[in-house]
Amino acid sequence: MKCEHCTRKECSKKTKTDDQENLSADAPSSAQENGEKCDTSKHKVLVVSVCPQSLPYFAAKFNLSVTEASRRLCGFLKSLGVHYVFDTTIATDFSILESQKEFVRRYRQHSEEERTLPMLTSACPGWVRYAERVLGRPITAHLCTAKSPQQIMGSLVKDYFARQQNLSPEKIFHIIVAPCYDKKLEALQEGALPALHGSRGTDCVLTSGEIAQIMEQGDLSVKDATIDTLFGDLKEDKVTRHDGASSDGHLAHIFRHAAKELFNEDVEEVTYRALRNKDFQEVTLEKNGEVVLRFAAAYGFRNIQNMILKLKKGKFPYHFVEVLACAGGCLNGRGQAQTPEGQADKALLRQMEGIYADIPVRRPGSSAHMQELYQEWLGGINSPKAQEVLHTTYQSQEHRAHSLDIKW
């Protein structure tokens, strides 16, 4: 995090020769004494992006409001030498908007000959890896091709933001703070991206729990700092989230969009109905006494296994499923809200759920900068670059399961 070419305190480097082992990091370097400016070509620019499901954990753990927690976390990271701290909510905007369009297209194309439904979400890396490695093509064909918020955030930072700062992607080291260990695997599997000149979108993932440990072990004087944005000198005045009880809210937003786009129905309140358990719920839209949209949320592997079994038997009457590997959703990721014994801290989780529910909800695309990003960064909503940057393909093993036989 430090270099000898910078005059800023956080970039001053301690010279470790035998007779200078105890030299203070605050001692001026030769570059400082000569009044030289920070030369970013000599070191990495450190960028941290924080998932919205991580903030309730810090708020609950340190007894803060979610806004206070975001500012304390930002201040702490910058005290370590991080240059920019971003919120990944804007990346989730892109993921949801692209998923909405894809669902409407699949719904219209679906037929007995071309079975494009159900569409299964692709934001959870644990679920996607399981689908690719174990279930194979019969299931991966139903995965939404929109990239996860983490993958999109990597492109935003290493491509859009890098251009704004006149930096090459390899000059940025990008860290994600997430509630889930599977995000680490996602970063490793992502590989180098052609659009980023061979650079990874995410260089490192730290869980919320790992960051909390660093905070507890640190002995730093931390001043609160407002979260940065990708747009110059603007600052994030408040924390927002998408409309999910414990996740990024793909189901609720896609349901509203599909109801309006396909059936000209305005849905304000999305009503969930628990079926097998609280982690398997459904949402339906009726028109003229007929169910025209049937969505489901399947959290945790026991519900995923049941979903797969019904898919194979052709007894799964859903058009869309929000699938998450963690029971309880993203808030209950194993990278946070865990006891020292590795069990879920249920009391802390309940507190986090209350905090998360109180965060203001934003509609995807409501940001004034979204259209600007689509045009300036991607060259248009349906441009070839938008397809390359915002969508992915899946690597599947040979068929390990029988082909789907779903009757709609």
Enumerate the domain spans of the chain: 45-388
Residue with tokens 């989230």: 241
* Tokens linked to 169: 């992607």
DSSP 106-120: HHHH--SSS---SEE
**Of the candidates 99, 180, 199, 205, which has an alpha carbon nearest to the alpha carbon of residue 142?**
99
**So what's the pLDDT on residue 276?**
84
Residue with tokens 């946070």: 336
Reduced to 3 states (helix: H, G, I; strand: E, B; else coil), residue 285 is strand
For residue 46, what is the DSSP state? Answer: E
Q: ∠ CA(223), CA(61), CA(240), 5° rounding?
A: 70
> Residues 233-245, buried b or exposed e (16+ Cβ, 10 A)?
eeebeebbbbbbb
Instruction: Give the C-alpha separation, 146 to 387, whole Å.
Output: 9
CATH, range 45-388: 3.40.950.10
* Block mean pLDDT (10 aa), the chain, length 408: 40 36 37 49 88 95 93 94 94 96 96 89 94 90 96 95 92 95 89 64 95 85 84 72 89 97 95 93 95 96 91 88 94 88 87 94 84 93 94 73 38
**So what's the pLDDT on residue 123?**
94
